[in-house]
Amino acid sequence: MVSLGHAVTIDHLDHVSVKAGALGLRRALRNLIVNAATHGKNCTVSLSGRGGQAILTIVDRGPGIPPDLLNKAFEPFFRVDPARTQLIPGAGLGLAIAKEIIERYGGTITLENRQGGGLVQTISFSRE
């Protein structure tokens, strides 16, 4: 992601296989990582195999999402702060598109605020 100008660090990558369309999954993960690196200033990505699950975690160090808005974050055109639209490009579709793709292939995605700031995105798929 450095080639796109984003600060992304790879933490830990287990070798896991999931049943999903490569192109769609690549688009979903790119949306999530670029979103985290943009709004969270930087992010760390890790992938682990736990039991029958492949768990991808994207952790950023940004402001997070106010708790009362977390359940709206996957809605199309969602922006935490609409006033920042001019400062940070995007239509607010990245999370909605990523969630739809992930769920289409049987995965799940959750968001939660980190203690001390930032957001944790957790994507889970059954292992192949």
Spatial CB neighbours of 100, under 8 Å, sequence gap ≥ 6: none
pTM for this prediction? 0.86
- C-alpha–C-alpha distance, residues 25 and 99, integer Å: 10
- What's the pLDDT score for residue 81? 63
At 47-92, the pLDDT tens digits run 999 989 999 999 999 889 999 999 899 988 877 765 554 455 555 6
- What's the pLDDT score for residue 5? 60
Q: Please give the CATH number for the structural domain made up of 2-126.
A: 3.30.565.10
pLDDT at 116 over 90: no
Cβ atoms < 10 Å from Cβ of 113? 15
Among all chains, which residue has been given the structure tokens 């985290």?
A: 36
Among all chains, which residue has been given the structure tokens 């799940």?
A: 108
Q: What mean pLDDT is predicted for residues 20-48?
A: 92
Question: Could you give the count of Cα atoms lying within 13 Å of 70 in the half-sphere of its Cβ?
Answer: 15
* Cα–Cα nearest to 43, from 99, 90, 4: 4
Question: Could you give the count of Cα atoms lying within 13 Å of 44 in the half-sphere of its Cβ?
Answer: 7
What are the residue boundaries of the structural domains of the chain, listed by start? 2-126
